[in-house]
Amino acid sequence: MPMTQERAKELASQPSLSEHLPIIFGNGNRVTCLSTNCLRCEAEIPSASINGELRWLLPHVVQVEAVGYCRQCNLLTPLGYRIDDQLAILTLQHGHWQRFESRPASLLARCRRWLRGMASPPRPR
Ligand SMILES: [Zn+2]
């Protein structure tokens, strides 16, 4: 879904997505971490550097509309998708919502790696 520059600026002025985490669904599934990758350098952008809006569309579907900021590139990367209570990600493609079950697994795995990296920095040998 293309995002206008005005909308990207508006989202950038919103609070960080980390303030909305964890997202807890009625069935107990939760999203503790959201990240994206910079459009230009592909570096990981953690939730703390992603600003925007979370909106509950249905009791089991939350919509994320946000922009991630990469300091290195000074660039905003837009994010727009929905997450359901099965932790599947839904993205709008050619006017239809497509559901990806494999994406969140890798998304969450990346988050876990990132969190683990933060929790225990590599020790010198
Ligand atoms: Zn970058």
Query: Which DSSP helix (H) or strand (E) runs through 56?
Result: strand 50-58
Q: By C-alpha distance, which of 83, 48, 44 is closest to 64?
A: 83
Say how far residue 60 (Cα) sits from the centre of its chain: 17
Asked if residue 26 lies in contact with residue 85, where contact means CB atoms within 8 angstroms, the answer is yes
Tokens standing for residue 112: 């876990």
**Domain parsing of the chain, residue ranges:** 5-118
- At 48, the amino acid letter reads A
Q: How far is the CA of 86 from the centre of ligand 1 (A)?
A: 30
Q: How far is the CA of 37 from the centre of ligand 1 (A)?
A: 8
Residue 125: the pLDDT is 57
Q: How far is the CA of 12 from the centre of ligand 1 (A)?
A: 16
pLDDT in tens, the chain (125 residues): 578 999 999 999 999 999 999 999 999 998 888 888 999 999 999 899 999 999 999 999 999 999 999 999 999 999 999 999 988 888 888 888 888 875 545 565 566 555 555 444 445 55
Strands of the sheet with 96-100, listed across from one edge:
50-58, 61-70, 75-84, 89-93, 96-100
Q: How far is the CA of 5 from the centre of ligand 1 (A)?
A: 18
